[in-house]
Amino acid sequence: EPEVTQTPSHQVTQMGQEVILRCVPISNHLYFYWYRQILGQKVEFLVSFYNNEISEKSEIFDDQFSVERPDGSNFTLKIRSTKLEDSAMYFCASRYRGETNEKLFFGSGTQLSVL
Amino acid sequence: AQSVTQPDIHITVSEGASLELRCNYSYGATPYLFWYVQSPGQGLQLLLKYFSGDTLVQGIKGFEAEFKRSQSSFNLRKPSVHWSDAAEYFCAVGRVTGGGNKLTFGTGTQLKVEL
């Protein structure tokens, strides 16, 4: 079965540093998402992306966050200046155009630790 | 605003015993409801979903869930639990927004299976 791939599985960074989380969505998918889960809390929606632009973002997704699809296969989440509270598991997801929520595929996540 | 409550943070059952994981939601219209499972090191895998129609839905791995509008619940059940079912289970409610598929998750229930 096709799968969404996220790298790295773990990322440790110093507060104030920039970090880029990488995702390779399923090849024919057109909608892309980032979610995150702070330890002990809910999985939260961050942003959705379609046709090379953000289609929706949450209030969490402030100016420190950005997303990009640089080369047609990767989908990245960049945090410009990390804060301690950015420590979380970040999930990438994708789906094919025309499918509904039942066809949303998630990656295994990147655990980000900000020290 | 939509929300999901999973009142049980941890549940322990014996292998072969029946299982019920609780989920209550708040949503302004007919909800799209989902159960996801996350095994260690794995992504979120869809177990089952409810969009409309029959309120008892069958999913993968022998799981089922029943949508009860009057109780705003979507509890997950399995008649006989296997040790491999040990994982974290997330209930989610979704909607389609423009090009997006924003999901709102509960905090999850960690299932432990005793042999």
Q: Are B81 and B13 in contact (CB under 8 A)?
A: yes
**Per-residue model confidence (pLDDT) at position B100:** 53
CB contact A43 to B (< 8 Å): yes
Tokens 């790295």 appear where? A8
CA distance A59 to chain B (A): 13
CA B48 to chain centre: 8
Least confident segment among A23-32, A91-100, B53-62: A91-100
Residue type at B89? Y
Partner-chain contact B100 A50, CB within 8 Å: yes
pLDDT band at A100 (very low <50, low <70, confident <90, very high): low
Query: 3-class DSSP state for residue A86?
Result: helix
DSSP state of B31: P
List of chain B residues with pLDDT < 50: 99
Chains A, B: CB contacts under 8 A, how many?
A: 77
Residues 6+ apart with CB under 8 A from A72: none
